[in-house]
Amino acid sequence: MKAKELLKKAREKGVAIGAFNVGNLETFKAITQAAENLKSPVLIEASPGEAGFIGLKQLVYLARAYEDQIQLPVILNLDHGENVETILEAIKTGFDYVHYDGSKFSYEENLENASIVVEEAHKKEVMVEGEIDHIEGSSADHSRENTKMYSKPELFTDPREAKEFVEKTGIDVFASFIGNLHGIYADIIHLNLDKLKEISTALPHTYLSLHGGSGVYDDDVRNAIKMGIVKVNVNSELRVAFKMTLQEEIGKTTEIAPYKYMKRPIEEVQKVVETKMKLFGSPELLK
């Protein structure tokens, strides 16, 4: 079952698919083990930084190898691609889904680039996600900062602009900025659900994604999914679980075999992924 069918089903069932970033083989294992354990389809993604580290071709082969092993749908996405060349390369290499993030460019440039990506992607039935308003923060540790520093209502997505962008580019999935932030902060994030309602009303035929799925109130996430979010991105919480556990393990062992001291970091990341999958309801997609 490919990306489009899964998102369609997610909308019908009022659930969302989790989009989890991979930074190494260990996170690949953790995410796919969680999927297998809960019998849930999963979207695995890599940012340009992560893709540069692992390699586009390696990502495709790893995704297909794990998909084959767990016998469950694994959608592979290039997350926040800003360079059109790299995105086209990902499409050619076998990605199922690409996210073009032109939010740092002028509106015209974003429109033009997104249209190029859509044209190439759709020839190969690859789904395209786009955005116009930069989703603030970064997938890092902001635990000493307050979300108010980043979550400024005047920067939230304007539903009319979103509608125009979708109509002109033909993107399949729209990523809006409604108070969601990349990263984890001192306080827990509340989403602006009224704004989301306006956006989903303006875009009745477009799939909606939610970035910054770490550190948001669970109830807000549940309500956002009820209101039409079909894909939720999670990165920071996986990174924190991995690094903290790895630090602990290395601190208390003289073991030098990575496959031994990586066992617990993988388990901890897997737990985070399973908790998110249950919150999003993604195991429902295959029932």
Q: Which stretch binds Zn ion (CB under 5 A): 64-72, 117-125, 206-214, 217-225?
A: 206-214
Rounded Cα gap, residues 272 and 105, in angstroms: 34
Q: How far is the CB of 101 from Zn ion (least distance, A)?
A: 8
Q: Which residue is nearest to Zn ion (CB)?
A: 211
Q: Is 99 in the site for Zn ion (CB under 5 A)?
A: no
- Is position 80 annotated in a ligand binding site? yes
**Does 131 belong to an annotated binding site?**
yes
Q: If binding means CB under 5 A, how many residues of this protein chain bind Zn ion? A: 2
Among the candidate windows 68-76, 111-119, 226-234, 277-285, which touches Zn ion by CB under 5 A?
A: 226-234
- Closest approach of Cβ 180 to Zn ion, in Å? 9
What is the Cα–Cα distance from 183 to 99, expressed in whole angstroms? 18
Catalytic residue from among 68, 79, 96, 141:
79
Q: Examine the residue annotation and report whether 96 is marked as an active-site residue of this protein.
A: no
| Selected range binding Zn ion among 151-159, 164-172, 210-218, 252-260, rule: CB under 5 A | 210-218
Q: Is-contact 35 73, C-beta < 8 A?
A: no
Residue of 29, 142, 195, 211 that binds Zn ion (CB under 5 A): 211
CA–CA separation, 179 and 181 (whole Å): 6
For residue 276, which of 28, 30, 20 has the smallest C-alpha distance?
20
Q: 88 exposed, middle or buried (CB, 10 Å; 0-12, 13-18, 19+)?
A: middle
**Is 134 annotated in some ligand binding site?**
no
Residue 95 or 261 with smaller CB distance to Zn ion:
95
DSSP E strand boundaries for the chain: 17-21, 42-46, 74-81, 97-101, 127-131, 137-142, 173-175, 182-185, 207-210, 229-234
Is residue 143 within 8 A of residue 186, CB to CB? The reply is yes
Ligand-binding site membership of 99 (annotated):
no
Question: How many Å apart are CA 240 and CA 118, to the nearest integer?
Answer: 34
CB of 175 to Zn ion, least distance (A): 7
Whose Cβ is closer to Zn ion: residue 209's or residue 270's? 209
Sequence ranges of the binding site for Zn(2+): 80, 101, 131, 182, 211
Residues tagged active-site: 79
Q: What residues make contact with Zn ion under the rule CB under 5 A?
A: 211, 233
